[in-house]
A and B are shown apart, each in its own frame.
Chain A
């Protein structure tokens, strides 16, 4: 067991190094075939969550671009609240289902899903519909409530956050797919992709009391998702992040965003919500740190209407 872990750790560190090299080299590795118009961001509108995902992943070159045969995959939706899917407090279960299926189709060995929930985890998993979706897709629904699963890591280049206790699945999985839901949020203004990563951290309690926005931006550097899919199918426009279980607060945007750049995904989603990306402080901080781009007007965006 430890051997496998050690191996994975080394593999992961190596991939981090390569990642760093890629950032330094301004996306040389992936950027090379940019001539064939690999979009920086895909925005889909008009379909059901699963159909929108299929369209988006095709536009990004298919799931095989992200998941290789025999790899382990972590899908991280937002399952923070004990709220049913129609209120948009959690990621849409149909989207999660489709992503897992797609990862398996690409040859994934194992697909795990978890969230360190805010409300009690069993109720969140059940009421969000995500546990059922994950199970029927053949994925592993992992509890996020046990401290034993979390390990201390250093956060590279952290301004306010230097260390965090993160779930071992984030450390060990070969591929990391972040699947946030777009919604309003009390202290962060909006919660999308970077904010969703608070759900892989155990000791996040103090973040709110100490520079929340800086810490969200800092943590974004720890492990950037290989793919970020923003669920904007049903969007909680007010009373977020939990909501009061009122459909009045929910806008049926029927949209989905996909990108390899988490910051760009957040920026585009903020715009979709009706805000200016630089006004959401953690987006600006992350962009300033060079973790991604928020100047979406300069990005190569592919829009798809279903």
Chain B
């Protein structure tokens, strides 16, 4: 039984570091790695299923079966946000070990010393019929919240509101924290190393693109990170057992688990050691009860108990008689939760009101969404804003914001920002990594004719007109030659946009040197269209013959 914790540690840390590496995006994102990491994530799988991808349902069933068998191992092994919280929890445990001067493991049995200062204050007369020591770490479950909230969140999603999921999905939140808070720091360090090594001729470390997004979203993610770390430092996996929709769902499923962790009535002496190590605060050592629906299967209890009293057993607890008064209270609380939920879903919107408008550009009317997302409506309903596509995007044209400038998307849902970059003609990586099916996979050929919008030319701003210079950089960058050069005057040409060829990639807008206002920009389409494939002009060059000089 003791090896369970080691196995959990190995699996969870591997997943955690792979996820971290994935979201840091210091090297081009490996699509296979991305897909194999995200395929089992519950909320993306759920959304993917809703988007009509059958694989999503299979992933959900796989997690459900796993949970039905042995409980919420998902929460401790596969969930990257869970492991992130474990880091804070570990910090607290380490700290208290130092303070309490607990004996090293294995030194004459690892019962805590009775006279250690930390334990001394908690030594109480037996609280009930239970053992001699109550460590006071057991907390009653907040059932109305932990089961009510996932229900509401799912209900909202069913009715097409994805916002609550965007805030509460642990995978998305993890992605957002890494992308917005950790990645900028990592990029600075990485690029510094790259530069310093580069000076001595070592080019092994590649510089990454510093992708400044909306500061609002950075502040939001940093606040979430701090809250999360704070809560887990003091209260363990409390997020997982109160707010997390995945935790709530799996909690319900794990009530029916075939195998459950239990305390052996005979072996357990209610010493409270396992309770003190329990991340979920779910072991009532005084009464020798383990609330398995909250257990995240970290196996700390199994490995710390030196009497072997924590074991996997089968069977269900006896049903308690119905308590009418409690039912009524529950109903009340459910209503309170609804109010709380409505409030929650408006928090980002409220934040958004104060968000800074970063880039002043031409008056655009329709937001441009990534290739493969089909239409604004579909995309809005399916994207949780985890930011994986933003990380994977090699040009960083995909950008998240608390409030999209054109206000058509939900907070955090990415859009194409052509102020700093444009969409690469040969690239389909966002369509390959999206775990929720919000961006559907496209082949390179399909992508090259997928029109996200169309370029609009403003003659008055063009440097050919204003400066009399032969610019036409837009024509040079245009991958589909939607730009035709037409005579302006003398030997100068200006662009003319052939909309049937334009795919709205933004190459023209990004490269246009006109300032302060661009002379060409892309206006998005509500629903993506299909452009014509450009044709080569052919040439009359003959290989025979001498040099012309």
Contact = CB atoms under 8 A, between A and B. Distances in A.
A246 B535 CA distance: 7
A245 to B, nearest CB: 8
Contacts of B541: 235, 237, 251, 253, 274
Interface stretch (A7-15, A63-71, A202-210, A217-225): A202-210
Contacts, number: 148
Nearest to B466: A209
A274 B548 contact: yes
A94 interface: no
A185 interface: yes
Contact of B471 (A112, A143, A212, A241): A212
Contact of B535 (A212, A237, A248): A248
A254 B544 CA distance: 11
B323 interface: no
A140 interface: yes
A210 B467 contact: yes
Interface in A95-145: 110, 112, 118-120, 122-123, 127, 140-143, 145
A148 B188 CA distance: 12
B531 to A, nearest CB: 12
Nearest to A83: B426
Interface class of chain A by DSSP: mixed
6 contacts: A119-B395, A123-B394, A123-B424, A208-B471, A212-B471, A245-B479
Interface stretch (B6-14, B163-171, B196-204, B362-370): B196-204
B475 A186 contact: yes
Interface of B: 28, 191, 194-195, 198-199, 201, 203, 206-207, 209, 394-395, 421, 424-427, 463, 467, 469-473, 475-481, 485, 511, 513-515, 534-539, 541, 543, 546-549
Given A82-B424, A187-B476, A252 B543 contact: yes
A272 B467 contact: no
Interface in A235-263: 235, 237-242, 244-255
A187 B472 contact: yes
Interface stretch (A51-59, A285-293, A295-303): A295-303
A110 B481 CA distance: 40
A245 B541 CA distance: 18
A119 B194 CA distance: 21
Interface class of chain B by DSSP: loop
A241 B511 CA distance: 14
Given A142-B198, A208-B469, A252-B543, A127 B549 contact: no
User: Nearest 8 pairs between A and B by C-beta?
Assistant: A248-B536, A246-B536, A251-B541, A237-B539, A209-B463, A186-B475, A249-B536, A238-B537
A209 B469 contact: yes
B194 A146 contact: yes
Counting chain B CB atoms within 10 Å of each CB, the highest count among A45, A209, A251, A255 belongs to A209
Contacts of A251: 539, 541, 543
A186 B469 contact: no
Contact of B195 (A146, A213, A250, A274): A146
A250 B538 CA distance: 8
B203 A143 contact: yes
Contact of B199 (A1, A235, A240, A244): A1
Contact of B198 (A143, A247, A296): A143
B471 A248 contact: no
A283 interface: no
Contacts of A213: 470
B389 to A, nearest CB: 15
